[in-house]
Amino acid sequence: MDYLDKIIQWKRKGRKIVFTNGCFDILHAGHVDYLEKAKKLGDILVVGLNSDLSISRIKGNKRPILEEDLRKKVLEGLKAVDLVVIFNEDTPERLIKEIKPDVLVKGGDWNIESIVGADFVKSYGGEVKTIDFKYDISTTKIIERILDRYCNNR
């Protein structure tokens, strides 16, 4: 069964679908907290996961650190996540239009007006929300910490 069949089944059962997306390159406490909060906005949490190719285009050829199949496996292991869909485009716009989530959510560092798919989701009565971050951590900060500790102190 492909992901759209699952979405259709959940919608037929009246489940509220929440969608978010990201790279989730090195999963950390900030990601987990964010995803748990996103899940609380509905019944089903669908995560759009940037493919390796899309991350390289967005963040440069040294990223991602972990391959998409490994990132997907870790996300699927989280209690809050019901479905992970990998996408190759630079934005999840196509996925959002296919899934038609009840709630579209991004981190608090995004303005609602600049969230890809926000206008589309609002057009059919869906909600667009942001979630404040609890932890001051990111994959980039983790990489910088590793480089500082293990490469700059030799």
Return the pLDDT at 135: 82
pTM of the complete model: 0.93
* pLDDT reported for residue 36: 98
Query: What is the architecture, at CATH level 2, of domain 15-150?
Result: 3-Layer(aba) Sandwich (3.40)
Q: How far apart are CA 116 and CA 18, in angstroms?
A: 15
Q: What is the mean pLDDT of each run of 10 residues along the chain (154 residues)?
A: 94 98 94 97 98 95 95 98 97 97 94 94 98 86 88 69
Give strand pairing partners of 107: 131
Note the pLDDT of residue 153: 63
Integer Cα distance of 48 and 91 in angstroms: 10
Measured between alpha carbons, how far is 13 from 50 in angstroms, rounded to an integer?
Answer: 28
34: Cβ contacts below 8 Å, ≥ 6 apart = 20, 107, 131, 133
* AA identity, residue 66: L
